[in-house]
Structure 1
Amino acid sequence: VMLGYSDSNKDGGFMPSGWELYKAEIGLIDTFARHGVRLRLFHGRGGSVGRGGGPSYQAILAQPGGAVQGQIRLTEQGEVIASKYANPEVGRRNLEVLAAATMEATLFAPRDPAPRPEYLEAMDELSEAAFKAYRNLVYETEGFEQYFWESTVISEIAALNIGSRPASRKKSTAIEDLRAIPWVFSWAQCRIMLPGWYGFGSAVQAYVARHGEAGMARLQAMHKEWSFFATLLSNMDMVLAKSDIAIASRYADLVKDSALRQAIFPRIEQEHASTIATLLNITGQAELLDANPLLKRSIRNRFPYLDPLNHVQVELLHRYREGHQDERVRRGIHLSINGIAAGLRNSG
């Protein structure tokens, strides 16, 4: 049975997508067990967190009990093939990690017992609130479609034929018709990474407002005791560490309608700040990625090379959209897109 991650995220956001897929796995495990049929799950994960990506080892061990059973299938996106398998030693190491996680999930008792009922209830509540926040911004905010097309490189991706397939399934600019890959990729290019976190801050704030300090204590306990929730937050931690709201504001300035820009970007900025604050409160970190210092250092070491590419890209986009569409400008945009994607990694 194949599980798809990309479109569910685009439709409902990061947290609801992950949670609904987790519950679907539990239902499949129970159904197949009742009928005596062996289940093998095929995870159609993308390279980015917004499309189900993230560290494979943690992802496999975060599966519900009975989901692995000695075998698992998953996709490796083209964008990560070179970094994972171009070098024979690195490739062997990645295969070892996949095999080790599969055997560990099969042979040993789960790292944590079945989640407590109150944890499941908390996730249902969080997921519903995150879904509403995400849908309200992306699908219910007037002018959001225009904002997205003007503040990201999606127009240039479509016009320059970057990618293996058209950006949209139909000749339309509607978000509903847009493919998941360019949707996630475009938000990564402008350093907002919105599909990998939006809605979490609002959801946690609403949950704590309803349940008080006991609610925050429950979320902190979930992070310590439940691999699924810990992995969810770990992936979001990585995405937020790669985001840069100051750089994102320069892309927002590409939106011609200042009223539209002022109506949408501050909402994204506020949710970004609240998501970071609530994440740090739950995990107990002082800064993003404190729990993963090697990754933190790796990402920070890339910023001096990555950030200038974003500033160059904004300038090139401005020139291109003002009518300076000669080959050098188009080539520059193309190179900046490739450079930013390489610097961010798992970005599409």
Structure 2
Amino acid sequence: HYRALVHDNPDLVAFFQQCTPIEEISKLQISSRPARRKSGAKDLSSLRAIPWVFGWTQSRFLLPSWFGVGAALQEELDADPGQLELFQQLYQRWPFFRMLISKVEMTLSKVDLDLAHHYVRSLGRPELREAFEQIFEVIAKEFVLTRDLVLAITGHQRLLDGDPALQLSVELRNRTIVPLGYLQVALLRRLRDQNRQPPMSEAAASDDGRTYSRSELLRGALLTINGIAAGMRNTG
């Protein structure tokens, strides 16, 4: 299921490049290696693992950490509905399975599909809008499936009910970085619009009539990336 989305969907690369700040992440001075390998191609094979996860995390999808889990569990349940009881027993008795489900539960709790959809609607190019909406629907459907099955296995009413301290911490951090997400989208949209303009165009006008240079817009975008990473406590 993961491979069908990531490797077999021809629009996924464009979706990732446009709907996450991956290109801007590559300009952050936070690692010893560039975001892409020196292949010259802007495809998934040239992208390193850390920026791949970082991009999805910034846009609140966190897709690599949970996508496909629900489909795999549901396949087992479709073959034998009684497997749910086995999953529940494994969660209680087998540390490996409990840790696996707990990690998925934690990352699901950090997903914000409303904000993620805002990235898609605001940053996706108009000619790819329909294809991007279809990709988003696939992601949203898998999220709901995975969340519901994780709750069924753990017996929780809400994600992270088994760890109230972590639940509160995640909820507080999720709320505080929502404004940063909307600010990041606004900055990325202005920056990318300006990057598509002729080189002689030095600044982009804002809603309040002020103009900002490309370097100022990029600096603002990079600050939001740092802020969201700090709030999420995840990079890649």
Query: TM-score, normalised on structure 1?
Result: 0.60
Note if 1:157 corresponds to 2:28.
no
- Separation (CA, whole Å) in 1 of partners of 2:32 and 2:20: 19
| Structure having greater relative contact order (Cα 8 Å, sep ≥ 6) | 2
1:186 corresponds to which of 52, 55, 59: 55
- Separation (CA, whole Å) in 1 of partners of 2:69 and 2:31: 30
1:305 corresponds to which of 170, 176, 187: 176
The residue type equivalent to 2:183 in the other structure is V
- Separation (CA, whole Å) in 2 of partners of 1:321 and 1:146: 14
8 A Cα contact 1:306 1:340, kept in partner: yes
1:291 match: secondary structure: coil
2:36 match: secondary structure: coil
Instruction: Give 1:328's aligned residue.
Output: 216
- After TM superposition, give the deviation of residue 174 of structure 1 in Å: 1.4
Aligned counterparts, 1:201-240, within 5 A: 201-212=70-81, 214-240=82-108
The residue type equivalent to 2:176 in the other structure is Y
CA deviation string 1:311-345 (max 9, x = no partner) = 10011111111104522211110100000000000
Query: TM-score, normalised on structure 2?
Result: 0.87
8 A Cα contact 2:77 2:83, kept in partner: yes
Instruction: Give 1:261's aligned residue.
Output: 132
8 A Cα contact 2:188 2:221, kept in partner: yes
8 A Cα contact 1:191 1:244, kept in partner: yes
- Separation (CA, whole Å) in 2 of partners of 1:227 and 1:159: 40
Aligned counterparts, 1:273-284, within 5 A: 273-284=144-155
- Separation (CA, whole Å) in 2 of partners of 1:302 and 1:198: 22
Aligned counterparts, 1:53-132, within 5 A: none
Instruction: Give 1:137's aligned residue.
Output: 5
Structure with larger Rg? 1
- After TM superposition, give the deviation of residue 141 of structure 1 in Å: 0.8
Instruction: Give 1:91's aligned residue.
Output: none
1:243 match: secondary structure: coil
- Separation (CA, whole Å) in 2 of partners of 1:230 and 1:243: 20
2:40 match: secondary structure: coil
Which deviates further from its counterpart, 164-173 or 143-152?
164-173
- After TM superposition, give the deviation of residue 206 of structure 1 in Å: 1.2
Note if 1:341 corresponds to 2:210.
no
2:158 corresponds to which of 276, 283, 287: 287
- After TM superposition, give the deviation of residue 176 of structure 1 in Å: 1.9
8 A Cα contact 2:156 2:162, kept in partner: yes
- After TM superposition, give the deviation of residue 160 of structure 1 in Å: 5.3
1:196 corresponds to which of 65, 88, 102: 65
- After TM superposition, give the deviation of residue 161 of structure 1 in Å: 5.4
1:322 match: secondary structure: helix
- After TM superposition, give the deviation of residue 346 of structure 1 in Å: 2.7
8 A Cα contact 2:50 2:235, kept in partner: no
2:80 match: secondary structure: helix
- After TM superposition, give the deviation of residue 158 of structure 1 in Å: 2.3
